[in-house]
Amino acid sequence: MTRTFTLVVTALAAAVLLGWSVHVVLVAAHVSEPAAATVYGLTPRRLWAIAAVGLALVSVLVGGLALRRSAGRIREDRGRLGIIAALAAGLLALVNGGLNLAVATGGPGTGNGVVGGAAALVLGLLGIALGGLALARSRRAI
């Protein structure tokens, strides 16, 4: 029961930290003001942001698995492939999230996908950090 409680509290803290960091990115990009007229539905820029967030989530997942397995319990070539995949996916997500924010002309609700772009930027950076930690740990184990 204590382990479950700890996992729930950790997940809630991670969600709050992610939300706060996305808000900080939106404020820094000067697109934090909501739209006067909300656009509903899927727009091309929202689709772009969703794809970038999906890539960033893959990067975080693969980076976390690579970090977990980088202690030397698996073959070295498989560990390197996961690390490279996490770094590449995180970089792509980071760049796409930043580009989405750079071309946005309005805030949340305008159909520009600024919330997804900011989330992709934050999660892409997290994926790169996890991949970098896994790379450093795997080099130390050699």
Q: How high is the pLDDT of residue 76?
A: 53
* pLDDT above 60 (res 142): no
pLDDT at 124: 94
Residue 90 has pLDDT above 90, yes or no: yes
* Cα gap 14→16, rounded to integer Å: 5
pLDDT of residue 5: 86
Start-end of H helices in 29-113? 44-69, 76-103
Q: pTM for the full model?
A: 0.83
Q: How confident is the model at residue 7 (pLDDT cuts 50, 70, 90)?
A: confident
Q: Which two tokens stand for residue 134?
A: 């896994």
Query: How many whole angstroms from its chain centre is CA 103?
Result: 19
